[in-house]
Amino acid sequence: MNLKALLSLFRVDAGNPALVLAQTHAFTKQIPLLYIILIANTGFVAATHYATAPFWLTVLAPLGFALLTTIRLIGWWKMRLTQPTVQQAAQRLRSTVMLSAGLGVTFTFWALAIYPYGDAFAKAHVIVYMALTMIACVFCLMHLRAAAFVLVFAVVIPSAVFMAIQSDLVLGAIGANLALVIAVMLFILNTHSRDFATMVEQKHHLEQVNHETRRLSEDNQKLANMDSLTGLPNRRSFIAEIEKHVAAVPGAGFALGIVDLDGFKAVNDLYGHGKGDALLVEASRRMATIAEKGIVFARLGGDEFGIIASAETDLAAFGRTLCEILRQPYELDDVTAEVTSSCGFAEYAEDCSTTKELFEHADYALYEAKSKAGGNTVIFSTTHRDDLRRVHEIDQALRNSDLDRELALVYQPIVNTRTGAVVSFEALARWRNNALGSISPAAFIASAEKSSLINRITITLLKKLLNEMALWPEHIGASFNLSARTLASPDAMLQIANLIHQCSIEPGRLEFEVTETALMIDFEASLRALNLLRNIGARVALDDFGIGYSSLSYVHHLPLDKIKIDRKFIGDMTQNRKASSVVKTVIDLCDNLGLACVAEGVETLEQSDALAEKGCHLAQGYYFGKPMPARDVFQVLDRQKRRAKPSRA
């Protein structure tokens, strides 16, 4: 062993913080015991020598020792209640090493000083005192090798010298015996010290592993329950919180809300996902600013957010505030985007007491809010409950009915206002169910669009249309409406393409109408579907133009043949200057893009004349004809044919 390694036996390893703290913690229990042994054993020796030794050796010196050790005992005892820093602990251990040397030398010389004053038994007591006290103190210091080694050498060297100069065989034998025991103790102590350091290191490593495991577990918990983009609770966490509220009722009531950003899809498609994500983050930040006590927001997915509101929340007022802050423009670097929001609430009640029912009611309220052109809040009511029950009845009837027999088409004429001739018809769906009777298209189409049933309805009605058109004059066309779900379904679009290919109808006579809203749900899928229709020779019209999320950029890129002006603008055109301007703008847009323009909802001669003045000569509405069954189409076309024949002289 070199000198450096030897000196390391007498140093505190301050470079190992975990070991330093562990040694200090062990000493808070062991050092007080060491001092108690010192005080007690010293007192016993002083008592046996009280009658023979000087007063200062039997009283004053032990009292001084007792005072010093008691102060240290109290100091170590108090450390049990505190958590020292590594620096404080290391300093405490260093002072213990130095004090071990000092106390070892002091108590040894005291014992040797009192040794001559006793008889043989008293002298034996001193030898036993020195041996047993040292062994006990070494065991108390075993976790700090440096202190134990210093103590041994501070006691053994003076004792060995003392016993050597006594020229007594018994003392020599006792000294040799003590030396052997001390040597074995030092070996065992050194081994224990290494094992203790290894154990502390392994424990520290295990704690680090456990800490990292807990951290990863917490991170996983956050990932499992938090939306990584917005930092809001995610759908999983939101549902769990709703279920807690449901389980806690009766108690405090609450409401579940669903918020949808109207127009987000257009922003995302037009400016990219980066801008879309930035908009969602900003929307979440705005929500957080009004998340008062009792309000919890969560991101459910896409542009849909969830709300948990306490019973004390004024839902109508809160919904207005929410829609207002979400309506404000979004500054996304070099882009300014605007969206509106719709909000639906469902309150916990006896007939709405499960998570599934709450979501269903809130979703229906959201649907009602969105049907009002966005920016509205709807609270689920008893009227909505009746409507929802009706929706369920319709949905079940659609699934279980013979749609081929029960579905039918009616046709509304589209007229050239310059000639008065019918140029085509718009095919409109009708459904009469055996159990429910006649059901409005708005009701059953809306229900079917929530599932793949709409594709089944679309194919059934298209077959009927193609069969009817085969009997019409070849110059008469027909327009047919496609839903967002159908546009997004490659299978449905392929079925439509196959039907057109297999029928005898010239594809150019068919015109497929799509709404702006349907296009914006999945613009890329819609664009592929429209290109497919154009490629097989069919025509495409953009329906309800002006009331959705239209953009000139989209209109420019769509494979359109026609734009249909929504009836809302036509109805207001003759009384509202802004509506009239919108109509004129759309007509001019169509003219510039080389597209046909059709006005919907024309009900008066005044409206028809106004449209003609603005340059629109294709129109449909009650003024020209109501939707009619297929048999009446032939009567209309026959009358038109007779009018077109020149009269005989």
Q: Output the 3-class SS for 241-262.
A: HHHHHHHHCCCCCEEEEEEEEE
Give the residue-averaged pLDDT of 295-307.
93
| pLDDT score at 359 | 92
- Whether residue 193 is found in the same domain as residue 335: no
Cβ–Cβ under 8 Å, residues 19 and 145: no
Instruction: Identify the band that residue 96 occupies on the pLDDT scale cut at 50, 70 and 90.
Output: confident
Where residue 406 sits, what CATH number does that domain have? 3.20.20.450
- Whether residue 348 is found in the same domain as residue 453: no
- Whether residue 15 is found in the same domain as residue 134: yes
> Furthest-apart CA pair in the chain: how many Å?
168
Distance separating alpha carbons of residues 423 and 619, to the nearest angstrom? 10
- Say how far residue 349 (Cα) sits from the centre of its chain: 28
346 occurs within a structural domain: yes
Sign of the torsion angle spanned by Cα atoms 89, 94, 96, 97: positive
252 occurs within a structural domain: yes
Give the residue-averaged pLDDT of 630-648.
78
Cβ–Cβ under 8 Å, residues 558 and 540: yes
Flag whether pLDDT at 521 surpasses 90.
Answer: no
Give the residue-averaged pLDDT of 574-600.
91
The reported pTM is 0.60
Cβ–Cβ under 8 Å, residues 509 and 476: yes
Place of tokens 């405090």: 252
Of 72-86, 271-285, 389-403, 485-499, the least confident: 72-86
Nearest to 625 by CA among 596, 597, 602, 598: 602
Residue ending a domain, choose from 208, 243, 277: 208
| pLDDT score at 649 | 34
Flag whether pLDDT at 178 surpasses 90.
Answer: no
- Whether residue 364 is found in the same domain as residue 438: no
Give the residue-averaged pLDDT of 84-103.
85
Cβ–Cβ under 8 Å, residues 315 and 377: yes
Flag whether pLDDT at 219 surpasses 70.
Answer: yes
Flag whether pLDDT at 73 surpasses 70.
Answer: yes
Sign of the torsion angle spanned by Cα atoms 556, 561, 565, 567: negative
Distance separating alpha carbons of residues 557 and 614, to the nearest angstrom? 25
CA angle 492-493-497, nearest 5°? 120
Instruction: Identify the band that residue 548 occupies on the pLDDT scale cut at 50, 70 and 90.
Output: low
| pLDDT score at 128 | 87
Q: How many domains in the chain?
A: 3
Q: What percent of the chain has pLDDT over 70?
A: 95
Distance separating alpha carbons of residues 66 and 44, to the nearest angstrom? 13
Give the pairing of strands 377-379 and 340-347: parallel
Flag whether pLDDT at 147 surpasses 90.
Answer: no
620 occurs within a structural domain: yes
Distance separating alpha carbons of residues 174 and 232, to the nearest angstrom? 78
Instruction: Identify the band that residue 238 occupies on the pLDDT scale cut at 50, 70 and 90.
Output: very high
- Whether residue 335 is found in the same domain as residue 452: no
- Whether residue 406 is found in the same domain as residue 505: yes
Flag whether pLDDT at 441 surpasses 80.
Answer: yes
3-state secondary structure of 517: helix
Burial zone of 510 (CB within 10 Å; 0-12 exposed, 13-18 middle, 19+ buried): buried
Distances (CA, A) of 526 to 63, 484, 486: 99, 8, 9
- Whether residue 362 is found in the same domain as residue 329: yes
Residues 6+ apart with CB under 8 A from 601: 566, 567, 568, 570, 571, 620, 621
Q: Cβ atoms within 10 A of the Cβ of 37, count?
A: 17
Give the pairing of strands 330-332 and 335-337: antiparallel
- Whether residue 191 is found in the same domain as residue 315: no
Give the residue-averaged pLDDT of 6-13.
61
388 occurs within a structural domain: no
Of 100-104, 173-177, 269-273, 512-516, the least confident: 173-177
One-letter amino acid for residue 214 of the chain = R
- Whether residue 59 is found in the same domain as residue 159: yes
Burial zone of 81 (CB within 10 Å; 0-12 exposed, 13-18 middle, 19+ buried): exposed
- Whether residue 242 is found in the same domain as residue 179: no
129 occurs within a structural domain: yes
Range of the domain at 363: 235-380
- Whether residue 420 is found in the same domain as residue 347: no
Give the pairing of strands 304-310 and 295-301: antiparallel
Residue ending a domain, choose from 316, 348, 380: 380
DSSP letter, residue 561: S
Distance separating alpha carbons of residues 533 and 193, to the nearest angstrom? 85
3-state secondary structure of 325: helix
Residue ending a domain, choose from 326, 346, 380: 380
Q: Which residue has the higher pLDDT, 233 or 181?
A: 233
Beta bridge partner(s), residue 541: 513, 562
| pLDDT score at 252 | 61
141 occurs within a structural domain: yes
Where residue 245 sits, what CATH number does that domain have? 3.30.70.270
Residues 6+ apart with CB under 8 A from 340: 261, 262, 263, 323, 326, 327, 374, 375
387 occurs within a structural domain: no
249 occurs within a structural domain: yes
| pLDDT score at 648 | 42
Flag whether pLDDT at 2 surpasses 60.
Answer: no
Give the residue-averaged pLDDT of 320-326.
93
Distance separating alpha carbons of residues 39 and 63, to the nearest angstrom? 9
- Whether residue 254 is found in the same domain as residue 183: no
| pLDDT score at 165 | 72
DSSP sequence for 385-440: HHHHHHHHHHHHHHHHS-HHHHEEEEEEEEEETTTTEEEEEEEEEEEEETTTEEE-
